[in-house]
Amino acid sequence: MSPRNETLRPPEGAAAPRRHPDAPAPGELLGSHYDECFGCGGGQDHGLHLAARAGEGVSVTAEFTVKKAHQGAPGLAHGGVLATALDETLGALSWLLRTIAVTGRLETDFLRPVPVDTKLYLDAHVTGVDGRKIYSTATGRLGGPDGDIAVRADALFIEVKVDHFIAHGRDTEIKAAMADPDQVRRARAFEVNP
Ligand SMILES: CCCCCCCCCCCCCC(=O)SCCNC(=O)CCNC(=O)[C@H](O)C(C)(C)COP(=O)(O)OP(=O)(O)OC[C@H]1O[C@@H](n2cnc3c(N)ncnc32)[C@H](O)[C@@H]1OP(=O)(O)O
């Protein structure tokens, strides 16, 4: 499916996505980039606890089970939570590019309601890279990886350096993150590209 919005289509001359030589192997669990992340962190009781795996090329798959705390209408997932699941899955593509990037633009289509206790099967891949701009797309399916599409999104992520978070994040959390050698190593490693 190609993006409906022109601004989310890689421009002419954009580079094809290139899997980083040190990217995790296909099938490998990617883990969380930050324990307090609402999307993937283990430290958020009501977070999505989304678990993503590396796929082939520059792609990932992920699973997320809708919980009671994620409702909008009775018994149904909140649209913003579903957009978060797509955003987080798209964000996980950073592990394959080994580039830190933040969401600049995210366009989401909600095709089917998603009940509480449903497992959403997500996949995402990069469609092109143009300088700091990373174009990508994702789907969330019901019933299995080949099931009906419930939600889909096209996105533009923008590459940033670790300093982006240091400059903009609240002091308390930045200080705690910087005091954690594993967190710093994980983040800084992404800044070194061949
Ligand atoms: C220590 C702890 C580390 C933890 C690390 C893990 C982090 C992982 C987190 C992942 C969590 C999951 C994910 C999350 O939740 S990420 C959280 C949600 N996203 C954000 O908070 C991002 C907020 N926005 C910004 O900070 C800035 O606007 C950014 C950094 C994005 C760009 O500002 P910057 O000043 O740097 O660059 P620029 O303005 O020159 O733009 C550059 C180019 O991009 C184009 N452009 C920009 N925006 C748009 C747009 N909306 N539509 C179309 N195009 C857009 C722009 O035209 C230009 O194009 P060109 O003129 O070059 O052609």
* Domain CATH code at residue 95: 3.10.129.10
Task: Specify the DSSP element, H or E, that contains 157.
Answer: strand 149-159
Residue 189 is predicted with a pLDDT of 65
Residue 156: give the domain boundaries.
14-160
Domain count, the chain: 1
Q: CA 137, CA 90: separation in Å to the nearest integer?
A: 7
Closest ligand 1 atom to Cα of 174: 1
What is the per-residue burial (b if ≥16 Cβ within 10 Å, else e) of 64-87? bebbeebeeeeebbeeebbbbbbb
- Span 14-18, mean pLDDT? 96
Query: By the 8 A CB rule, do 83 and 72 touch?
Result: no
**Looking at residue 97, what is its pLDDT?**
97
Confidence of residue 45 (pLDDT cuts 50, 70, 90): very high
- Span 7-35, average pLDDT: 95
CA 35 – CA 30 distance, rounded (Å): 13
Q: What is the pLDDT of residue 123?
A: 98
How much is the pLDDT for 193? Answer: 47
167 found inside a domain:
no
Please tell me which residue, 6 or 81, carries the higher pLDDT value: 81
Instruction: Tokens for 28, please give them.
Output: 């490998």
59-112 pLDDT per residue, tens: 999 999 999 999 999 999 999 999 999 999 999 999 999 999 999 999 999 999
Q: Could you report the predicted ipTM of this complex, rounded to two decimals?
A: 0.95
70: tokens are: 């994620």
Q: Is 6 inside any structural domain?
A: no
Q: What are the pocket residues of ligand 1 if the criterion is a CB atom closer than 6 Å to any ligand atom?
A: 7, 33-34, 87-88, 91, 100, 102-105, 131-133, 156, 158, 160, 162, 165, 177, 183, 187
CB 75 within 8 A of CB 145: no
Provide the pLDDT for residue 6.
85
pLDDT, residue 67, reads 98
* pLDDT value, residue 186: 72
Residue 21 within any structural domain of the chain:
yes
Q: Give domain status of residue 33, yes or no.
A: yes
Structural domain contains residue 185: no
Task: Give residue 194's pLDDT.
Answer: 38
Residues 126-144 have a mean pLDDT of 98
- How confident is the model over 20-31, as a mean pLDDT? 95
Q: What is the pLDDT of residue 124?
A: 98
Q: Would strands 101-110 and 119-130 be described as parallel, antiparallel, or unpaired?
A: unpaired
Residue 187: other Cβ atoms inside 10 A: 19
* pLDDT computed for residue 77 by the predictor: 98
Q: Is residue 141 part of a domain?
A: yes
Exposed / middle / buried, residue 148 (Cβ in 10 Å: 0-12, 13-18, 19+): exposed
**Which of 60, 102, 175 maximizes ligand 1 atoms within 8 Å of its Cβ, making it the mutation to test the pocket?**
102
Determine which residue's CA is closest to atom 23 belonging to ligand 1. 104
Among protein residues, the one whose CA lies closest to atom 48 of ligand 1:
104
Residue nearest to atom 28 of ligand 1 (CA): 104
Instruction: Note whether residue 65 is domain-resident.
Output: yes
**Nearest CA residue ID for atom 58, ligand 1:** 133
Instruction: Please write the tens of the pLDDT for every residue from 136-194.
Output: 999 999 999 999 999 999 999 999 999 999 999 999 999 999 898 888 777 766 765 43
- Rounded CA-CA distance 91/31 in Å is 12
Domain assignment present for residue 48? The answer is: yes
- Mutate-to-test residue for ligand 1 from 7, 130, 158, 165, highest number of ligand atoms within 8 A of CB: 158
